[in-house]
Amino acid sequence: MADYDFDVLVIGSGPGGYVAAIRAAQLGLKTGCVESRETLGGTCLNVGCIPSKAMLHASEFYDHAANGMMAKMGIKVTPELDLDTMHGQRKDAVKQLTGGIEFLFKKNKVEWIKGHAAFTAADTVQVGDRSVRAKNIVIATGSSVTPLPGVEIDQKVVVDSTGALELPKVPEQMVVIGGGVIGLELGSVWRRLGAKVTVVEFLDQILPGFDGEVRKESNKILKKQGLEFKLSTKVTGVTVKGDKATLTVEPAAGGAAETIEADTVLVSIGRKPNTDGLALDKAGLGTNQRGQIEIDHDFRTSVPGIWAIGDVVPGPMLAHKAEDEGIAVAENIAGQHGIVNHDVIPSVVYTWPEIAGVGLTEEAAKERGEVKVGKFPMLANSRAKTNHEPDGFVKVIADAKTDRVLGVWCIASVAGTMIAQAAQAMEFGATSEDIAYTCHAHPTHSEAIKEAAMAVTGKPIHV
């Protein structure tokens, strides 16, 4: 170790970075983690997964009370929104969880170096007035909001996801630019609390990357809830006057422009890797055309001793993918064999109902060969029906010859929880028959996965 400060220095304390740091320390390596934010936990804990789920969870209760769901179960209530308290419980969740990472750092003897890291050499970074030298450096700097050219985010009228989590009052008319996961989740929060929400999406369907049938059905369900969609439509300009915005939109294929008025515009067209200010060139590193740091199967960059994980490298920008890469990279640095199976990374949209999938879409699976598909509607699942949650379905896609499960997709109130068993089955190389003959507790939503698996070979019981 001689003149190294650390065996492992992690840059960034998001779910990739903090997990890598903790695992490296657990493996006996002297570990530091540089974070420029005031609190640990990265995008996920501070302005991403956690605060958005806090608002989704609370607004779901409000919606159930306001829109007749509770009345259906014999509970008559007229809800009154206390937005300050709702925001308060969001902030509290963030505070507790970011504080929890600080506790785990102390417990595992990970040193938190506060400040912004920039490379000065392949094994050295500068943080404020401190030069830190490490045998291994893990870049886990994450991602930030992709700006829309010509549209200025003022966090008042035109907001990004961080601003949309903190709106001080419910907008009357909100326009969401981008029908991806973040836009649909945050659009749902404010629609539930009373805003009229229009989602403008350039593509001809929401949720790019998801299974085609799931995309279509999700659109139908969300529309029924009151979200308005303008698909195949591009935003060509946003002008703000006072506390109102006017958006100019036109058909993606060209055609007559129209305007939409809004008091809040959410720009959610995607996220870009964070490498600005890292001085990668000083370490002999660069980025690919998408701004990402390229890595090999073991998370090594092209420079020995520098590794990269999470949103800053290619692959889905998801917290659990970053976490698994964090564990694997630390194990690889320690000389173990850390592996992440990138074919089995679940994706979840936390709308109501939730939308989840793992593995291949039906379209992608069909491109690879012959498949068999089994479907089961949530309407026929006893628990979903009893709970007044009839929307959605489960779809199991299996290889026609081997029956091996290639993909599973669910729309269900608890799809995010249900998809875990599909991921585990796929990780173990399960066939649809394996899932179909696994005993599932009754009455649970998960029985729909069993029945969809039974439907692959044509024998579900309840339809």
Ligand X SMILES: Cc1cc2nc3c(=O)[nH]c(=O)nc-3n(C[C@H](O)[C@H](O)[C@H](O)COP(=O)(O)OP(=O)(O)OC[C@H]3O[C@@H](n4cnc5c(N)ncnc54)[C@H](O)[C@@H]3O)c2cc1C
CB distance 270 to 293 below 8 Å: no
Smallest gap from Cβ 317 to ligand X, in A, equals: 4
Residue 273: beta bridge partners?
A: 143
Pick from 44, 73, 241, 29: which is nearest to 142 by CA?
44
Q: Does 59 help bind ligand X (rule: CB under 6 A)? A: no
How far is 158 from 235, CA to CA, in rounded Å?
13
CA dihedral 283, 289, 295, 297 (to 10 degrees): -170
- The verdict on 235 binding ligand X (CB under 6 A) reads no
Counting contacts by CB under 6 A, is residue 419 touching ligand X? no
* Residue selected from 8, 10, 11, 422 as contacting ligand X according to rule CB under 6 A: 11
Rounded CA-CA distance 314/300 in Å is 13
Separation of CA 407 from chain center:
18
Decide if residue 277 touches ligand X (CB under 6 A): yes
| Closest among 211, 201, 198 to 269, alpha carbons compared | 201
Which of residues 201 and 324 has its CB atom nearest to ligand X in the complex?
Answer: 324
For the CB of residue 293, give the shortest distance to ligand X in the complex, in Å: 11
Name the CA dihedral angle for 159, 160, 165, 170, rounded to a multiple of 10 degrees.
Answer: 30
- For residue 421, the minimal CB distance to ligand X (Å) is 18
Measured in degrees and rounded to the nearest 5, phi and psi for residue 293 equal: -90, 125
Cα distance between residue 36 and residue 242, in whole Å: 33
How far is Cα of residue 28 from the mean position of the Cα atoms in its chain?
A: 31
Q: Is position 432 an interface residue for ligand X (rule: CB under 6 A)?
A: no
**Interface residue with ligand X, options 249, 266, 322, 327 (CB under 6 A):** 322
Does 351 bind ligand X (CB under 6 A)? Our answer is no
Kindly state whether residue 22 participates in binding ligand X, applying the rule CB under 6 A: no
Are the CB atoms for 409 and 453 separated by under 8 Å? no
- Cβ-contact 67, 193 below 8 angstroms: no
- 17 is a site residue for ligand X (CB under 6 A): yes
Q: Give the integer Cα–Cα distance in Å for 396 and 455.
A: 8
Nearer Cβ to ligand X, position 13 or 381?
Answer: 13
Least distance in angstroms from the C-beta of 14 to ligand X: 2
- Candidates 14, 178, 377, 407; binder of ligand X (CB under 6 A) is 14
> Are β-strands 143-145 and 130-139 bridged in parallel, bridged antiparallel, or unpaired?
unpaired
The footprint of ligand X on residues 301-320 (CB under 6 A) is 310-311, 317-320
Part of the chain binding ligand X (CB under 6 A), chosen from 34-42, 63-71, 246-254, 433-441: 34-42
| 15, 130, 151, 315, 318 from 322: Cα distances, Å | 6, 28, 30, 10, 6
Contact segment (CB under 6 A) with ligand X among 10-18, 60-68, 190-198, 371-379 equals 10-18
Instruction: Verify binding: residue 116, ligand X, rule CB under 6 A.
Output: yes
Q: Using the rule CB under 6 A, is 110 a contact of ligand X?
A: no
Q: Which residue in 15, 171, 179, 359 binds ligand X (CB under 6 A)?
A: 15
CA atoms of 10 and 308, how far apart (whole Å)? 9
Minimum separation from the CB atom of position 22 to ligand X (A): 13
Out of 4, 26, 27, 37, the only residue in the binding site for ligand X (CB under 6 A) is: 37
- 95: part of which helix (H) or strand (E)? helix 83-108
**Does residue 199 belong to the site contacting ligand X (CB under 6 A)?**
no
Distance CA 143, CA 310 (A): 9
Q: CB of 268: closest distance to ligand X in angstroms?
A: 8
**Could you list the active site residues?**
442
Report the residue number, 116 or 216, with the smaller CB distance to ligand X. 116
* Span 134-173, contacts to ligand X by CB under 6 A: 140-143, 161
CB 18 within 8 A of CB 326: yes
Contact call for residue 32 and ligand X (CB under 6 A): no
Q: With binding defined as CB under 6 A, does residue 182 bind ligand X?
A: yes
SS3 state at 48: coil
Q: Which stretch binds ligand X (CB under 6 A): 11-19, 171-179, 403-411, 434-442?
A: 11-19
How far apart are the C-alpha atoms of 161 and 186, rounded to whole Å?
A: 8
Q: Which residue is nearest to ligand X (CB)?
A: 142
Give yes or no for a cis peptide into 443 (omega within 30° of 0): yes
**In the complex, least distance from residue 97 CB atom to ligand X, rounded to whole angstroms:** 12
Contacts of ligand X in 117-136 (CB under 6 A): 117
Based on CB atoms, which residue is closest to ligand X, 311 or 362?
Answer: 311
Contact set with ligand X (CB under 6 A): 11-17, 34-37, 42-44, 48-49, 52, 116-117, 140-143, 161, 182, 274, 277-278, 310-311, 317-320, 322, 350
